[in-house]
Amino acid sequence: MSLQAAAFPIASYTPQEIRNAFSAIRAHWPSEIRGALYNAAFGIWKPFLEVTEAEVRESLDTNVTAAFAFAREAILGFKGLEVDEKGKRGTLLFTGRPCDNRWRSRARGEAWVNNPDVRLEPDSIAKAYQYLTEQDRSAWTWELDLRPAHEKW
Protein backbone atom coordinates (compact mmCIF):
# COMPACT_ATOMS: atom_id res chain seq x y z
CA MET A 1 0.00 0.00 0.00
CA SER A 2 1.30 3.44 -0.91
CA LEU A 3 0.59 6.12 1.68
CA GLN A 4 0.75 9.79 0.83
CA ALA A 5 0.08 12.93 2.79
CA ALA A 6 -0.33 16.55 1.77
CA ALA A 7 -1.43 19.75 3.47
CA PHE A 8 -4.35 21.81 2.21
CA PRO A 9 -4.29 25.16 4.04
CA ILE A 10 -7.46 27.16 4.47
CA ALA A 11 -7.99 30.89 5.02
CA SER A 12 -10.68 30.44 7.67
CA TYR A 13 -12.71 27.72 9.37
CA THR A 14 -15.94 28.33 7.47
CA PRO A 15 -17.85 25.44 5.89
CA GLN A 16 -17.18 26.95 2.44
CA GLU A 17 -13.42 26.93 3.05
CA ILE A 18 -13.65 23.29 4.14
CA ARG A 19 -15.60 22.43 0.97
CA ASN A 20 -12.97 24.28 -1.09
CA ALA A 21 -10.23 22.28 0.61
CA PHE A 22 -11.99 19.02 -0.24
CA SER A 23 -12.29 20.16 -3.86
CA ALA A 24 -8.53 20.79 -3.85
CA ILE A 25 -7.95 17.37 -2.29
CA ARG A 26 -10.04 15.65 -4.96
CA ALA A 27 -8.16 17.57 -7.67
CA HIS A 28 -4.82 16.56 -6.12
CA TRP A 29 -5.85 12.91 -5.72
CA PRO A 30 -8.47 11.94 -8.30
CA SER A 31 -8.50 8.36 -6.98
CA GLU A 32 -10.45 7.15 -3.96
CA ILE A 33 -9.72 8.89 -0.69
CA ARG A 34 -10.28 6.47 2.17
CA GLY A 35 -8.79 8.44 5.02
CA ALA A 36 -9.31 11.95 6.37
CA LEU A 37 -7.52 13.50 9.36
CA TYR A 38 -8.77 16.72 10.97
CA ASN A 39 -5.85 18.30 12.80
CA ALA A 40 -7.04 21.67 14.01
CA ALA A 41 -7.85 22.92 17.46
CA PHE A 42 -8.22 26.25 19.19
CA GLY A 43 -7.83 26.35 22.94
CA ILE A 44 -8.23 29.24 25.29
CA TRP A 45 -5.76 28.95 28.15
CA LYS A 46 -6.49 31.86 30.42
CA PRO A 47 -8.89 32.78 33.21
CA PHE A 48 -12.58 32.75 32.26
CA LEU A 49 -13.17 36.48 32.78
CA GLU A 50 -10.27 37.30 30.44
CA VAL A 51 -11.73 35.31 27.54
CA THR A 52 -13.07 37.53 24.76
CA GLU A 53 -16.13 37.00 22.56
CA ALA A 54 -13.82 36.83 19.55
CA GLU A 55 -11.88 33.96 21.16
CA VAL A 56 -15.10 32.08 21.89
CA ARG A 57 -16.19 32.54 18.25
CA GLU A 58 -12.80 31.35 16.98
CA SER A 59 -12.95 28.32 19.25
CA LEU A 60 -16.44 27.43 18.03
CA ASP A 61 -15.49 27.99 14.39
CA THR A 62 -12.40 25.79 14.67
CA ASN A 63 -13.51 23.07 17.08
CA VAL A 64 -17.18 22.70 16.14
CA THR A 65 -18.24 24.33 12.86
CA ALA A 66 -15.17 23.41 10.81
CA ALA A 67 -14.89 19.95 12.38
CA PHE A 68 -18.54 19.28 11.46
CA ALA A 69 -18.01 20.52 7.89
CA PHE A 70 -14.85 18.41 7.58
CA ALA A 71 -16.60 15.27 8.85
CA ARG A 72 -19.55 15.88 6.54
CA GLU A 73 -17.37 16.26 3.44
CA ALA A 74 -15.30 13.18 4.33
CA ILE A 75 -18.36 11.01 4.99
CA LEU A 76 -20.06 12.17 1.79
CA GLY A 77 -16.93 11.05 -0.06
CA PHE A 78 -16.80 7.71 1.75
CA LYS A 79 -20.46 6.94 1.05
CA GLY A 80 -19.82 6.35 -2.65
CA LEU A 81 -16.96 3.90 -2.09
CA GLU A 82 -17.16 0.14 -2.14
CA VAL A 83 -16.60 -1.62 1.17
CA ASP A 84 -12.95 -2.73 1.43
CA GLU A 85 -11.57 -6.07 2.67
CA LYS A 86 -11.79 -4.79 6.27
CA GLY A 87 -15.48 -3.98 5.86
CA LYS A 88 -14.97 -0.21 5.72
CA ARG A 89 -15.47 2.59 3.24
CA GLY A 90 -13.14 5.07 4.91
CA THR A 91 -11.56 6.28 8.12
CA LEU A 92 -12.29 9.66 9.67
CA LEU A 93 -9.86 10.76 12.39
CA PHE A 94 -9.78 13.81 14.62
CA THR A 95 -6.64 14.86 16.42
CA GLY A 96 -5.78 17.70 18.72
CA ARG A 97 -2.55 19.60 18.77
CA PRO A 98 0.44 17.40 19.51
CA CYS A 99 1.95 20.34 21.41
CA ASP A 100 -0.49 21.59 23.99
CA ASN A 101 0.02 24.31 26.56
CA ARG A 102 2.14 22.23 28.93
CA TRP A 103 4.58 21.37 26.14
CA ARG A 104 4.97 25.02 25.12
CA SER A 105 5.91 26.03 28.65
CA ARG A 106 8.13 22.99 29.07
CA ALA A 107 9.93 23.65 25.78
CA ARG A 108 11.03 27.05 27.03
CA GLY A 109 12.83 25.52 30.01
CA GLU A 110 14.16 22.27 28.56
CA ALA A 111 16.16 21.15 25.58
CA TRP A 112 13.48 18.62 24.55
CA VAL A 113 14.41 19.08 20.91
CA ASN A 114 17.57 17.05 21.53
CA ASN A 115 16.00 14.44 23.81
CA PRO A 116 14.02 11.79 21.88
CA ASP A 117 12.71 10.28 25.13
CA VAL A 118 10.40 13.22 25.83
CA ARG A 119 8.93 14.01 22.41
CA LEU A 120 6.47 12.48 19.99
CA GLU A 121 8.05 11.68 16.63
CA PRO A 122 5.91 12.56 13.58
CA ASP A 123 6.61 9.19 11.92
CA SER A 124 5.45 7.37 15.05
CA ILE A 125 2.27 9.45 15.17
CA ALA A 126 1.64 8.63 11.49
CA LYS A 127 2.11 4.89 12.14
CA ALA A 128 -0.46 5.04 14.96
CA TYR A 129 -2.94 6.74 12.63
CA GLN A 130 -2.19 4.20 9.90
CA TYR A 131 -2.98 1.41 12.36
CA LEU A 132 -6.38 2.98 12.96
CA THR A 133 -7.13 2.84 9.23
CA GLU A 134 -6.27 -0.87 9.12
CA GLN A 135 -7.80 -2.17 12.35
CA ASP A 136 -10.43 -4.87 12.30
CA ARG A 137 -14.05 -3.85 12.84
CA SER A 138 -14.41 -6.36 15.67
CA ALA A 139 -11.93 -4.44 17.86
CA TRP A 140 -12.52 -0.74 17.32
CA THR A 141 -10.48 2.06 18.87
CA TRP A 142 -12.63 4.77 20.42
CA GLU A 143 -9.86 7.05 21.64
CA LEU A 144 -6.10 6.97 21.31
CA ASP A 145 -3.81 8.97 23.61
CA LEU A 146 -0.26 9.14 22.26
CA ARG A 147 2.53 10.11 24.65
CA PRO A 148 6.28 9.56 24.77
CA ALA A 149 7.23 6.55 26.88
CA HIS A 150 9.22 8.62 29.35
CA GLU A 151 6.67 11.38 29.90
CA LYS A 152 5.93 12.05 33.54
CA TRP A 153 2.17 11.68 34.12
Whether residues 76 and 109 fall in one domain: no
In this predicted structure, what is the pLDDT of residue 122? 86
Assigned domain for 145 exists: yes
The 10 Å CB-count burial string (b at 16+, else e) for 56-67 is eeebebbbeebb
Q: Of 85, 106, 133, which residue is a domain's last?
A: 85
The helix (run of H) or strand (run of E) holding residue 93 is strand 91-94
Whether residues 49 and 109 fall in one domain: no
Assigned domain for 14 exists: yes
Integer-rounded Cα Rg, in Å, for the chain is 18
| 101 — pLDDT class (breaks 50, 70, 90) | very low
Whether residues 80 and 127 fall in one domain: no
Q: CA-to-CA distance for 27 and 120, rounded, in angstroms? A: 32
Instruction: Indicate the DSSP class of residue 61.
Output: I
Tens-digit pLDDT profile for residues 25-79: 999 988 888 999 998 889 999 999 999 999 999 999 999 999 999 999 999 999 9
Percent of the chain with pLDDT over 70: 86
- 10 class by beta-carbon count within 10 Å (0-12 exposed, 13-18 middle, 19+ buried): middle
Q: Of 85, 106, 131, which residue is a domain's last?
A: 85
Please say if the pLDDT value at position 1 is more than 60.
no
Domain of residue 115: give its range: 98-152
Q: Give Cβ neighbours of residue 116 (< 8 Å, ≥ 6 apart).
A: none
Q: How many domains does the chain have?
A: 2
Assigned domain for 92 exists: no
Which residue type, as a one-letter code, is found at position 86? K
Assigned domain for 137 exists: yes
Q: How far is CA 106 from the centre of its chain?
A: 23
Whether residues 111 and 71 fall in one domain: no
Q: Of 85, 107, 138, which residue is a domain's last?
A: 85
Q: CA-to-CA distance for 55 and 33, rounded, in angstroms? A: 33
Q: Give the predicted TM-score (pTM) of the model.
A: 0.82
Assigned domain for 40 exists: yes
Most distant CA pair in the chain, distance: 52
Whether residues 46 and 104 fall in one domain: no
What are φ and ψ of residue 67, in 5° steps? Answer: -60, -40
